[in-house]
């Protein structure tokens, strides 16, 4: 099937790029039996590090019931681990466990291709790309905070 490979303008290129990233992420998650909320929380943990269920509640906007079972699912699937908080024995800390085989495997085709792609760039070009990756990560996180703040 023919996708129009015409030269689009920059915004189109970027939108298509974002769509492809989303698409791949969602497809990978589904292939691992993860729902959207599970993936959502997993990404939060990836970005912000270990946190308590209560913090997950405030970040996701879910209530505590579903959150507990979401953590149960993630824990059962081996994506996170519950450890007691040292300072407060009521609390539990949910910490991500190194990406396990299932998710790692579904990511493999993309990782290989992106790896190949990156090997085609010079060190200077790679520096630009990774500078962008780091700054864009912050930008999206800030945008998320803004979104969340706007909803309350």
Q: Applying CB under 7 A, which residues contact DNA? A: 35-38, 52-55, 57, 61-66, 68-73, 82, 88-92
Alpha carbon separation from 11 to 14, 16, 42 (Å, rounded): 5, 9, 29
Query: Which partner in its own copies, DNA, none is near 96 (CB below 5 to 8 A by kind)?
Result: none
Instruction: Give the nearest distance from C-beta 97 to DNA in angstroms.
Output: 16
Interface size with its own copies, residues (CB under 8 A): 60
Residues between 91 and 120 that touch its own copies (CB under 8 A): 98, 106, 109-110, 113-114, 116-117
- In angstroms, rounded to a whole number, what is the distance separating the alpha carbons of residues 19 and 11? 12
Site for its own copies in 41-70 (CB under 8 A): 43-44, 46-49
Neighbours of 121 (CB within 10 A): 12
Q: Could you say which of DNA, its own copies, none residue 114 binds, taking C-beta under 5 to 8 angstroms by partner kind?
A: its own copies
Take residue 49 and report the two structure tokens written for it: 């590090």
Question: How big, in percent rounded to 5, are the helix, strand and coil portions of the chain?
Answer: 70, 5, 25
């Amino acid at each position: 099937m023919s996708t129009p490979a015409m030269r689009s303008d920059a915004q189109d290129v970027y939108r298509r790029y974002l769509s492809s990233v989303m698409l791949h992420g969602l497809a990978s998650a589904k292939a691992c039996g993860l729902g959207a909320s599970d993936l959502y929380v997993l990404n939060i943990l990836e970005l912000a590090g270990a946190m308590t269920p209560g913090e997950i509640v405030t970040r996701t906007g879910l209530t505590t019931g579903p959150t507990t079972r979401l953590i149960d699912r993630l824990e059962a699937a081996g994506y996170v681990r519950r450890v007691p908080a040292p300072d407060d024995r009521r609390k539990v800390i949910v910490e991500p466990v190194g990406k396990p085989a299932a998710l790692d495997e579904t990511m493999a085709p993309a990782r290989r291709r992106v790896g190949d792609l990156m090997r085609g760039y010079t060190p200077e070009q790679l520096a630009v790309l990774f500078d962008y990756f780091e700054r864009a990560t912050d930008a999206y996180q800030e945008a998320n905070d803004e979104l969340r703040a706007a909803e309350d």
